[in-house]
Amino acid sequence: MSNNAQKLESLSLEERRKLLQRNEPPQPSKTCTKLEQRMYFLQDLHPRSNAYTLYPCFEIKGPLDIKQLKHSINQLVLRHPNLRCSFQKSGPHLRKVIHEQAHVNIQHHQPPKGPEQDLQINALLIKEIQKPFNLSKGPLLRVHLIQKDPNTHQLLIHIHHIISDGWSIHLMIKEISALYNQHPLAPLKQAQASNPKSNIEFWKSHLKNPAPPVTFPLQHNRPKQHHTQGAELIGQVPKQLRAKIQSWCDQKKVTPFLFYLLIFQTLLAKYTQKTDLILGHPIANRNNTQDLNCIGLFSNTVALRQQLNQDSRLDALLQDTKPLLFSALQAQSTPFDDIIQAINPQRNPNENPLFLIMFNFQNEPSYSLNLDKLQCQAIQAPIAHALVDLTLDIWDQEDTYRLQW
């Protein structure tokens, strides 16, 4: 055996991995979008926070083919470059490095059966979700499979927001299902990183002289340090009431989105005693056809401003709100940070400078894992985070509206 071979044989697995990394050819890199730059900055500002990650969970019942599931997820990683990337900063410049090969090692857990099993599973999920990502090292995707018994598993997909968004999660689940079921996927047309045309003049007018962010009184002083601990409350609109709301919207020729936005704004005005309201609203921001089938960070946030007259009737408020909402959504592609820089509101390092309350209306079906011969159901992760004081998510489902606070 040669000297070099003996030295290689004596290396640990970690030392061999580092040696291989040093010998890898340079990987292609790309300029980051403003959205990616903002997400990198936020994570760098709060390196231990999990607030900038997404973590859909599923329960799977039946004879799961674990080998096929692992293969499907790694095929997904090979298909989408953003699942194989990391981020490198050199001075003020941030680059996205696309790695030719990346393997996601699905971690398999088998907590012992017994009365404490569910508690152990929840503790495991919380522990894994709270683990921070190092954005300079990929993959920025982790997968955990927890076996409750031979025919019951829980699947956790933990992914950083810098390479994904809500739309991406829908797409990931859809493609994992297709790959597991061995259905062909159409060739992928890669989206090109872009910084869209700005509509900054609209936003300077729309958000001119903003009032301090509206929120509810706190029972204690606002923390000096930024934290994202939160909780969730789930509710539903009864079937009959949903039908009445839909009928009213049809009659007034407005969408349920506009109806709920106005009702929410009216309630906020009543309970906060404020009439100049700015709410954050996340949008998909996929304006090009090639963006629709790509996993990555495209979503943006728009600031919806409404000055309410509490003496106005609902019909009059609707007529005032419709053009404002239309104009704001037309200008949705302007990066949020560009808007902040342009209007330069008073800032507090512990909070968003424009809004502390967000509203989101989802009229797309919630993501659903569909694996052949298996029963799959989305489940709530036993942990929640909050980027602002209050967020209302409304999901338009078949016979109800699901409210998530």
Residue-wise pLDDT for 216-235, tens only, equals 877 777 766 666 777 778 88
Q: Check residue 385 and report its DSSP letter.
A: B
Backbone angles phi, psi at 51, to 5 degrees: -65, -20
Its sign, for the CA torsion 170, 175, 178, 184, is positive
Q: Check residue 378 and report its DSSP letter.
A: E
CATH number listed for the domain at residues 200-364+384-404: 3.30.559.30
Which option is the CATH number for 29-180: 3.90.1150.10, 3.30.559.10, 3.30.420.40, 3.40.50.720? 3.30.559.10
Residue-wise pLDDT for 6-45, tens only, equals 555 565 555 545 544 444 445 667 889 999 999 999 899 8
Residues 130 and 50 sit within 8 Å (Cβ to Cβ): yes
User: Which positions of the chain have pLDDT values less than 70?
Assistant: 1-28, 190-198, 223-227, 310-311, 349, 364-366
For the chain, residues classed under CATH 3.30.559.10 are 29-180
Bridge partners of 351? 348
Gap between the Cα atoms of 60 and 234, Å rounded: 22
> Can you point out the beta strands (E) in 33-149?
53-54, 57-61, 85-90, 93-98, 107-109, 141-149
Provide the 3-class DSSP secondary structure of residue 42. Answer: helix
For the chain, residues classed under CATH 3.30.559.30 are 200-364+384-404
Bridge partners of 169? none
Q: Write down the pTM of the prediction.
A: 0.86
With tokens 């790695």, the residue in question is 99
Q: What is the pLDDT of residue 32?
A: 92
Residues 245 and 252 sit within 8 Å (Cβ to Cβ): no
